[in-house]
Chains A and B, each alone.
Chain A
Amino acid sequence: MIYVVGALILWGLGWMLNARLANGPRANTRAVQIAVPVIFGATILLIWELIVRGLSVPLVILPPPSMIATTFANSLPILWADFVQTFVKGALSGFVIGGVAAFLLAIVVDRYDFLRRGLLPVGNFMAALPIVGTAPILVMWFGFDWQSKAAVVVVMVFFPILVNTVAGLRDTSDIQRDLMRTYGASYGQTLFKLRLPAAMPFIFNGLKIATTLALVGAIVAEFFGSPTRGMGFRISTSVGQLALDMVWAEIVVAALAGSFFYGAIALCEKGVTFWHPSQRS
């Protein structure tokens, strides 16, 4: 009981501290803007720990964060093998293949107006569909190993990148294109010097959407069959054994991988589209 009371007091303290910081004179400094969400996150973790201990919640329902951290630290080799299998082999290779294919098709589609008007509605339609559903079919075609996971990821990331790249390639004004024409620029020169750079914010938007989809695709595809390693495999088997601490450790890995992947793409975006208004401040 004392733990639960402690949790409530802690909640109040954390909230009060954040309220002071957020309404205080330094609220707009960078340090405070980082500190507030960190304090919030830490409070949640502590309360989670205290409530689970205080009410002695069974481990098969919710393990405390300390136990998840211990499991994480103790099973680093397993987690690393799963990470390599699912993220590096499945998600990353599929992301690259799907991204390059979508990009090349987008350039072709953009060149021929007939194709654009035909493929774009189909692409938009496909982008809204539950494409993860193709996972069982692709697992059947490409076998249980990472190739089938990469195939699912290719299909999942393809349409968002295609649609965004095509939209981006059209994002130049008539004046800009006319200027290139007065320079006597060829199609290729206009593409590389004007239209591709102008399309970059759109392309990166598509890539950012695709980062999450790639991980989702690789993990869900493993629910339909996989070798005896991989994040999706570990999650589904550990759930079966009620080893929830392992499941949570794997979720931490997925969260870290997802955030870093997204962060890496965002960093590239910052470097490439430094000229765009959204990157200047």
Chain B
Amino acid sequence: MKSLVSAFAPVVTVVIALMTIWYMAAVWLNADWAYDRAGRAGVTLSFSELVSDTWAQEKPKLPAPHQVVEEIWKTTVQKSITSKRSLIYHSWVTLSATLLGFGLGTALGIGLAIGIVYNRVMDMSVMPWAIVSQTIPIIAIAPMIIVVLYSIGVQGMLPKAIISAYLSFFPVVVGMVKGLRSPDAMQLDLLRTYSANKSQSFWKLRLPASVPYLFASLKIGVAASLVGAIVGELPTGAVRGLGARLLAGSYYGQTIQIWSALFAAAILAAGLVALIGLLERVTLRRMGERP
């Protein structure tokens, strides 16, 4: 119990400090508009009036946290999930593309990694490019993929999923190659003394040894997938999805809408990473890992 308190107390303090800074920043950033309006109405604002006004504007520069929470509450719990204004609906549009792309990218990435580990030619020709591609802002091709696929009649979830797949693909390849190569010479030699063939040494040694590496890159990959799906919604002016909410919010100055979409994206990302962390712990425990 005591260790739990000592673990959470600093985090809670920091979060409270951040909230305080946020509220004060809201007063500071929104004060201009409040003074402007008061000046035109011919009234002078007392300090408490100023504060209450800056925390309750309709299109503030920086919405106060409770406004964002209220908006999220209104657009999730109080709207039916089929409504065009429901945040759950938009989150699902983005999440489904993310998951499809993440699944595709992971499967292809594992496949290529196996090819690289077992085929020397592939290793030497493809691996340098896979590493270089990590330094390239791949997201730059997102708009093009969307438009090209649109022009050949593919639209909706698939183009976004392809961008997601592309972004999660390379971390998985690099991590899996490292993982499949992680058994050392002694372990490989042991299997040779058992006269294990290639597939046995793959299923019984290399694949199990790669699991921790796989999960580490899956966490990176799933976060990248979500970013890919959100960015994939930007260039075509999509009307559905979290990226579309961000874009529409920025066109019409609906800051509260932007912030609530941002929080929804953050919750999704945190949830996905936590889910993979949970899977990791369960899998590793079943494989016999001792803490």
Chain A interface residues toward B at CB < 8 A: 15, 18-19, 21-23, 27, 32-33, 36-37, 39-41, 60-62, 114-119, 121-122, 125, 128-130, 132-137, 139-141, 211-212, 215-216, 219-220, 223-225, 231-232, 235-236, 239-240, 242, 244, 247-248, 250-251, 254-255, 258-259, 261-263
Contact = CB atoms under 8 A, between A and B. Distances in A.
Contacts of B143: 223, 235-236, 239, 247
B231 A132 contact: yes
B139 A258 contact: no
Contacts of B107: none
Nearest to A218: B137
Interface string B136-180: 110111011011100110000000000000000000000000000
Interface in B1-15: 7, 10-15
Contacts of B13: 114, 118
B235 A18 contact: no
A44 B115 CA distance: 18
A23 B126 CA distance: 15
B200 interface: no
Listed from nearest, the 6 A-B pairs whose CB atoms lie closest are: A118-B10, A40-B125, A136-B250, A118-B14, A262-B135, A215-B137
Contacts of B106: none
Contacts of A37: 124-129
Given A60-B148, A128-B223, A250 B270 contact: no
Contacts of B215: none
B265 A114 contact: no
Nearest to A133: B262
B15 A133 contact: no
B255 A137 contact: yes
B121 A130 contact: no
A122 B231 CA distance: 24
B273 interface: yes
Nearest to A134: B262
B227 interface: yes
A212 B136 contact: yes
B140 A61 contact: no
Contacts of B249: 136
Interface string B204-248: 000000000000000100010011001100110000001000110
A137 B261 CA distance: 11
Given A61-B148, A137-B262, A22 B121 contact: yes
B137 A219 contact: yes
Interface string B242-286: 100011011001010011011001100110010000000000000
Contact of B235 (A141, A223, A250, A259): A223
A251 B135 contact: no
B93 to A, nearest CB: 15
A130 B223 contact: yes
Nearest to B222: A128
Contacts of B15: 122
Q: Which of B123, B129, B231, B261 has the largest number of chain A CB atoms within 10 A?
A: B231
A263 B134 CA distance: 12
